[in-house]
A and B are shown apart, each in its own frame.
Chain A
Amino acid sequence: MIKLVGINKVYKAGDVPIYALRDVSLELPDGEFIAIIGPSGSGKSTLMNIIGCLDVPTSGKYSLDGVAVDTLGDNALATIRNRRIGFVFQSFNLLPRLTAIEQVEVPLTYRGASNRRKLARQALIDVGLGDRLHHRPTQLSGGQQQRVAIARAIVSRPSIILADEPTGALDSSTSTEIMRIFEALNHEMGMTIIFVTHEREVAGCTRRIIQLRDGQVVSDAATPAAAELSASVYLQESLVEEPSA
């Protein structure tokens, strides 16, 4: 559960304050599938950075799963990023020298987990890369690299996946594959997925679109697809649940 109340992010350009975000209030329940869209300079990256605990707001309240994040220090924010948030970037941001499985182990290393190899292998199998465990980024295609990045984001079982233009560097068929993975994560693992994108097509796959302009939320609505999706989810869930009920 993400709760933003009156978030402002102000940069100083000389004496003139520039508002990257102005009085943004949002409530994102668990299990949401959301797209944040807007033209460049609208503040969507800033919003994502704040939600991802990479940045702190100038003013306003941000609580993540009941924790008041805006009061936390550097180390506590690092722990939250490590355990509750998974990042997927447009440019993949894999570490150049590590093999796929080692990439996925990195967040577990910072957590100090013991069964890193096993968890990392499972995460890679989950994204369909069970046969590419020991390949380096340069030996993988763009779509495969992004899948490694997704595995890395989900390996610590975060409640939120933040994806910044995750398909921006991929061709359309690969994009579709990647979108399927996100949908599956949302459906099957119940992770909150937040896309930052300007591709309408990508945004259309989500259930809720938040539009930003000049640092303010200008619209926040369920997508048409969302109705169908939630219906299908409802159906699936009821199908699963029926025998036990």
Chain B
Amino acid sequence: MNPFDTIPIALRALAANKLRSSLTMLGIIIGVGAVIALMAAGQGAQKGITDRIRGLGSNLLFIRPGQPEDNKENNPVGGQVFTLVSTDADAINNPDRFPYVDSVAAQVFFEAPITSGGQSMQVNFTGVTPDYQFTRDHYVASGRFITDDDVTRKGLVAVLGPNVAENLFGDVDPIGRTARLTVGAFRIYFSFNFLIVGVMERRGATATGDEDDLVIIPLPTMQARIPYIRNPKGLSNVHQITVKISSSDKFGQAKEEIAALLRDRHGVTKDDFTIRSQEDLVATVSEVSQTLTILLGSIAGISLVVGGIGIMNIMLVSVTERTREIGIRKALGAKRRDILAQFMVEAITVTMLGGLTGILVGVMAARLADGQHVFGRDLQTAVTPLSIMIAFSVSAVIGLFFGIYPAYNASRLNPIEALRHE
């Protein structure tokens, strides 16, 4: 028998039981749709995070203090360690020794309330040097940035992120106004009035948080006036040093040479800091989010298996119901493989149709979810051809796997008994 002749037979059998066929298909549609949509969510999350890391600027190295567990001997108690100081940053910014270093930005961070007029909000402050803007490729939209003069004076000036400016001042131009920063603990509070000198350009969320929510002040102002982030030796600690490298092929060399410098300066043989490039961050994050994608896909895969069991169930019922038909077909000369093919084609048709519809549903769900605001985050989804291929081939395999047993049963039926079946 020509294998193509089984297709109309299968289609007709499916059409005869439209409700049953579509319910069976629904299991596969939901399964495939869930696989596509959830994998799209996982991959979208990955894409979003890696985009944000790349959006920080280009060719950046991030130097941070070593994690406590990296340095057990010197820090037996655990907790945050401060190993980097602002003079480290000055030492790296040495064009004679590191010709490939474009600019260096040392940063400290802390969170505190800022108040202006009647408005108050909790914001992230960061203390920076003027090089920050060049290192990060992030400039003011109006007013001016922190200047060398501000740094020397330890001036009480601040540049606001656009969100902060908007929330505190609304439509009013904040430049020239003041905002009050309050820090302290145990009933000892310090307040500082900052003159607002500029507003940053809008950048959107990046991997290190929403930079539009930052308040930028001069680094020494932070270090000198807010005592508790100074270290016991009187040195000014920094949380992060960002180094901009002239070209990405110098990353390896830069990492090694800067690490050597820092070890030397800190008088240690084992790194008490970590240096990561953007690509390192991307790789780490991708690994995490790939695990997430696989996890999501597997969860959705369970529903696909459940759908497959549904197919097997229906096919078994269908074979029993059509025992007599099988008997007639065998009497008319159908071979075992003809009957096998008939029921296999039926199962595979259901799963393929379900798979295709599921792909449509999944892609549509991913499209609809893309850009939606959920739990304060912009959802991002990315449907890849790979996930479509995986979903489709998995559904075809499920059709084969769960269709083969009922079809085999059908093909093994004794024609005489099948003909006698009522």
What residues make up the interface of A, taking CB atoms closer than 8 Å to B?
49, 52, 54-55, 74-75, 78-79, 81-83, 87, 89, 93-98, 106-107, 109-112, 152, 156
Cross-interface CB contact of B334 among A78, A89, A152, cutoff 8 Å: A78
CB distance from A15 to the nearest CB of B (A): 23
Given A54-B416, A55-B416, A95-B325, decide whether A110 and B331 contact each other with a Cβ distance below 8 A. Answer: no
Beyond contacts A96-B325, A112-B5: 9 other A-B pairs, Cβ-Cβ < 8 A, are A49-B416, A52-B331, A74-B335, A82-B332, A87-B332, A93-B331, A93-B419, A110-B1, A156-B333
Cross-interface CB contact of A93 among B12, B324, B335, B416, cutoff 8 Å: B324
CB distance from A105 to the nearest CB of B (A): 10
Q: In the bound complex, how far is the Cα of B1 from the Cα of A107, in angstroms?
A: 10
Name the residue in A52, A79, A95, A109 with the highest tally of chain B Cβ atoms < 10 Å from its Cβ.
Answer: A109
What residues make up the interface of B, taking CB atoms closer than 8 Å to A?
1-2, 5, 12-13, 16, 324-325, 327-338, 415-416, 419
Decide if B415 touches A110 in the complex (CB within 8 Å).
no
CB distance from B409 to the nearest CB of A (A): 15
Given A95-B325, A97-B16, decide whether A75 and B336 contact each other with a Cβ distance below 8 A. Answer: yes
Question: Closest chain A residue to B338 by CB distance?
Answer: A110
CB distance from A156 to the nearest CB of B (A): 8
Decide if B332 touches A112 in the complex (CB within 8 Å).
no
Decide if B333 touches A79 in the complex (CB within 8 Å).
yes
Decide if A74 touches B336 in the complex (CB within 8 Å).
yes
9 pairs, A vs B, C-beta closer than 8 Å: A54-B415, A75-B335, A75-B337, A78-B330, A93-B324, A97-B16, A106-B329, A107-B332, A112-B1
Q: In the bound complex, how far is the Cα of B419 from the Cα of A81, in angstroms?
A: 15
Decide if B333 touches A81 in the complex (CB within 8 Å).
yes
Given A78-B335, A97-B12, decide whether A109 and B5 contact each other with a Cβ distance below 8 A. Answer: yes
CB distance from B9 to the nearest CB of A (A): 8
Q: Would you list the 10 A-B pairs with minimal beta carbon distance, nearest first?
A: A82-B333, A110-B333, A78-B335, A107-B332, A81-B333, A93-B328, A54-B415, A75-B335, A109-B5, A87-B331
Q: Which A residues lie within 8 Å of B332 (CB)?
A: 81-82, 87, 106-107, 110, 152
CB distance from A139 to the nearest CB of B (A): 16
Q: In the bound complex, how far is the Cα of B332 from the Cα of A156, in angstroms?
A: 10
Q: In the bound complex, how far is the Cα of B336 from the Cα of A95, in angstroms?
A: 18
Q: Which B residues lie within 8 Å of A97 (CB)?
A: 12-13, 16
Q: Which B residues lie within 8 Å of A109 (CB)?
A: 1-2, 5
Q: In the bound complex, how far is the Cα of B419 from the Cα of A54, in angstroms?
A: 10
Given A78-B330, A95-B325, decide whether A110 and B416 contact each other with a Cβ distance below 8 A. Answer: no
Q: Which A residues lie within 8 Å of B324 (CB)?
A: 93
Q: Which A residues lie within 8 Å of B337 (CB)?
A: 75
Q: Which B residues lie within 8 Å of A110 (CB)?
A: 1, 329, 332-335, 338
Q: Which A residues lie within 8 Å of B12 (CB)?
A: 97-98
Decide if A54 touches B331 in the complex (CB within 8 Å).
yes
Q: In the bound complex, how far is the Cα of B328 from the Cα of A109, in angstroms?
A: 14
CB distance from B408 to the nearest CB of A (A): 14
